[in-house]
């Protein structure tokens, strides 16, 4: 294997040194990008967390009108239905019950 000339070896060494001299700037640039990303993620998670709290509040509020007891406190409370909505309109449960009972009595 032929030996590399001293001149080529020096050129290669100088290129490596130049790359190493630029390394701190590259690390600083990456560090600032990481800090920026971390800050963006924190703010996004905070917004998601705030949305989740608001969503839970609204759902709890609506569940209180649909159920006689909160199903989040006890899953058995899902059987204690107060109101039923179909396509955005409240269903007349008493009227439906009366129609079903009349149908079953006539059968």
Is the pLDDT reported for residue 1 higher than 80?
Answer: no
pLDDT in tens, 34-56: 999 888 888 888 877 888 888 88
β-partners of residue 81 are: 67
Contact yes or no for 34/26 (Cβ under 8 A): no
Quote the pTM value: 0.36
Burial (Cβ within 10 Å: 0-12, 13-18, ≥19) of residue 10: exposed
**Domains of the chain by residue range:** 9-106
- Which sign, positive or negative, has the C-alpha torsion 14, 20, 24, 27? positive
């Amino acid at each position: 294997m032929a030996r590399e000339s001293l001149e080529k070896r020096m050129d290669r060494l100088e290129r490596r040194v130049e790359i190493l001299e630029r390394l701190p700037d590259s690390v600083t640039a990456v560090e600032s990008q990481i800090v920026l990303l971390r800050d963006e993620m924190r703010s996004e998670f905070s917004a998601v967390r705030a949305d989740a709290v608001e969503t839970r509040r609204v759902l709890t509020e609506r569940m209180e009108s649909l159920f006689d007891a909160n199903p989040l406190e006890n899953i058995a409370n899902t059987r204690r239905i107060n109101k039923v909505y179909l396509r955005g309109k409240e269903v007349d449960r008493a009227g439906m019950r009366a129609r079903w009972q009349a149908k079953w009595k006539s059968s």
